[in-house]
Amino acid sequence: MGLIICPDCGKEISTSAEACPFCGKPMSTQIKCPNCKSTKIEKISGLSKAGSVALFGVFAMGKVSKTYHCKECGYKW
């Protein structure tokens, strides 16, 4: 059983907790890297996606479909 940092209030909570006991944020939506299981995930901003689409048109849609980026291993999905 490990500890994770609540993204909302910054307190340490159990990885097995369904919600943060301090602020109530649900943890079931915790995103994990499918490659290395790291929770150091950043969401690729919709803004840069929109920029790529503007530059390359609808043909770039497939390439910008990835939403998350793992800071641990660099995997994108």
**Chain positions contacting Zn ion, by CB under 5 A:** 6, 8-9, 20, 22-23, 25, 33, 35-36, 38, 70, 72-73, 75
> CA 35, CA 38: separation in Å to the nearest integer?
8
Kindly tell me which of 17 and 53 has the beta carbon lying closer to Zn ion.
17
> Which residues are CB-neighbours of 5 under 8 A, at least 6 positions away?
11, 12, 13
In angstroms, give the least distance from the CB of 72 to Zn ion: 4
In angstroms, give the least distance from the CB of 41 to Zn ion: 8
In angstroms, give the least distance from the CB of 53 to Zn ion: 26
> CA 47, CA 8: separation in Å to the nearest integer?
22
